[in-house]
Amino acid sequence: MELTWIGHGSFRFDTSDGTRVYVDPFLTHNPKCPDAEKEPERVDVIAVTHGHMDHIANVADLAKKHGATVIAMIEIGDWLASKHGVDESKLQCGNKGGATEAGGVRFTLVGAQHSSGLPDGSYGGEAAGIVAEADGKAVYFAGDTDVFGDMALIGRLYAPDLAVLPIGDFFTMGPKQAALALELLGTKRCLPCHYGTFPPLVGTPAELKKLAPNVTVEDIEPGQSITV
């Protein structure tokens, strides 16, 4: 699985079978998104953790343009269909603990400690994290969250090979909380995100490395990729 950070909390990954998945696509107005990533050439699946603008901004347009399947909480799916004209047959939107498969990838919605109001003020359900399983690997996209004790259950149930964690502070965990999250998850590899995009997001990968010395912290730039 090839995983590319496209700035802030947004990612895309490609499976060995050729499925291309976008997670929380915030492209057009994302100051950290490389220009080459702002207009995707192909989108097969979109996975959404919650309804805030910096995670859902491009979801409806990409879904309609590319005919992509959308994975999200049920309230987000209803909003995309009723207010943005996304094809209901392309929505595989459930709730926490539930899993669905799209493009050969198994997606499970898991807990998160965050809010999820939609950009127009609509109710977006609860925020979630997403575990994506493909090619014999599991990646935990925490979305926007604080650390919480049930991360230990996520670790026990899914044994993520990689944890994608926010570290910016102010709106999400900072490095201190993220280090504890890694301890609870039992995951030895982390890709930090949601830092440096805007002035309040002051956490850094260097801080996380100091606090989690036994974890491989992938310190990459937007547009760069890692192999899971």
Contacts of 164 (CB under 8 A, 6+ apart): 11, 139, 140, 141, 142, 190, 191, 192, 193
Q: Are 146 and 172 in contact (CB under 8 A)?
A: yes
Q: What is the pLDDT of residue 214?
A: 97
Distance CA 30, CA 60 (A): 16
Q: pLDDT for 197-228, tens place per residue?
A: 999 999 999 999 999 999 999 999 999 999 99
Query: In order of start, what are the domains of the chain with their CATH numbers?
Result: 2-227 (3.60.15.10)
Task: For residue 11, name the pLDDT band (cuts at 50, 70, 90).
Answer: very high
The SS3 assignment for 180 reads: helix
The whole model's pTM is what?
0.97
Nearest by Cα to 157 from 114, 136, 186: 186
* Rounded Cα–Cα distance for residues 156 and 69 (Å): 28
Confidence of residue 155 (pLDDT cuts 50, 70, 90): very high
Could you report the per-residue pLDDT of 109-125, keeping only the tens digit for each? Answer: 999 999 999 999 999 99
pLDDT digits (tens, 9 = 90+) for 19-67: 999 999 999 999 999 999 999 999 999 999 999 999 999 999 999 999 9
Handedness of CA 96, 97, 102, 105 (dihedral sign): positive
DSSP tag of 130: E
Residue 117 CB neighbour total at 10 angstroms: 15
| Integer Cα distance of 116 and 95 in angstroms | 14
Q: Label residue 41 exposed, middle or buried (CB < 10 Å: 0-12, 13-18, 19+).
A: exposed
Q: What is the DSSP letter of 42?
A: -
pLDDT at site 57: 96
